[in-house]
Structure 1
């Protein structure tokens, strides 16, 4: 599954704070999902900032992921669940659950995954999505 998780505060950014981009230190994890080579063209850049009340749920029927996506918890002391699956019905085999609970927790994923989310507690999440050319 083309998915990595972590916390922005814990990333080795060589003192810069840049944990996503063209710097060599973003080259880690499966598919190097946080690395965008300097010469790489992008399109379809989108950013979403959303304050999810407790109980907010995406339900099913979200489109299959394209390109790369990063969801980052920007609120503190929250609990936000994202589930990923290669199957549209989210059957147990292949299901991966990620909990964003600490400010800076993130999930980054590539194309071809189904995902759904649920705010277990109020959570503000920033999501960035883009396609590589």
Structure 2
């Protein structure tokens, strides 16, 4: 990469559910367009949630709490992120959903960034 890009993660991801770096960025010669990883900056209000479960078939994911409280739901447990810097890391093939327990900000990184990798699912438990 030979150019410098700067901006605001919150505003640039507005039309993509918070995602501002990944394969979905156009044009493809934009330095933020990459299949290596995806980055999301998300501000949630208390009660915001993903009711339906989803799974990434190829990508691993890390969700890092910037502030607030955020609950990640996995098939066999729920993990509450409540201290700034708390994180959850999970691999490909693990169904998940979530709920914002308070107004919060989450930074999510997923790798690799592949079209169609995130799909709806039903947990097996």
Do the structures match in fold with TM over 0.5?
yes
2:64 corresponds to 1:83: no
In the alignment, which residue of structure 1 is the partner of 2:46? 54
Matched, 1:114 2:106: no
Give the gaps of 5 or more residues in structure 2: 1-33, 114-125
Q: CA deviation at 1:97?
A: 0.7
Residues 73 and 64 (structure 1), Cα distance of their counterparts in 2 relative to 1, 3 Å cut: same
Distance in 2 between the 1:55 and 1:65 partners? 27
CA shift digits 1:8-38 (9 cap, x unpaired): xxxxxxxxxxxxxxxxxxxxxxxxxxxxxxx
CA contact (8 A) 1:71 1:127 kept: yes
Q: Does 1:101 align with 2:107?
A: no
Query: Match of 2:109?
Result: 128
Which protein, 1 or 2, shows the higher relative CO under an 8 Å CA cutoff with sep ≥ 6? 1
8 Å contact kept, 1:82–1:116: yes
CA distance in 1, matches of 2:101, 2:63: 16
| TM-score between both structures, scaled by the size of structure 1 | 0.55
May I ask how many residue pairs the two structures share in their alignment?
Answer: 80
Q: TM-score, normalised by structure 2?
A: 0.58
- Shift in Å at residue 68 of structure 1? 1.0
Segments of 4+ moved more than 6 angstroms: none
Query: RMSD of the TM alignment (CA)?
Result: 2.0
